[in-house]
Amino acid sequence: MERQPVKVQLIKKVGNHYHIKFPNLKIPVTVNKQLYHKMRHSSAYHFNSDKNIISKANAS
């Protein structure tokens, strides 16, 4: 049985930190740029986000 990816949402970017909302947490988790990029390219996470926020975050 294969695990389904966790659906997360990018809330905002502040400097080199990204605020990511996980489904079972009330507050967003803050991650650094390196971890954010690993998560974006991982099959374990599926980002449901506003395209404008993601494009601005990826441009940095």
Laid out side by side, the sheet with 17-21 consists of 29-32, 17-21, 6-14, 45-47
Q: Which residue has the tokens 């998560």?
A: 39
Q: What is the pLDDT of residue 2?
A: 80
Return d(Cα 44, Cα 60) in angstroms, integer. Answer: 23
Per DSSP, the residues of 7-39 read EEEEEEEETTEEEEE-TT-SSPEEEEHHHHHHH
Q: Check residue 6 and give its pLDDT.
A: 96
| pLDDT score at 52 | 63
For 1-56, write each residue's pLDDT tens digit: 688 999 999 999 999 999 999 999 999 999 999 999 999 999 999 998 666 666 66
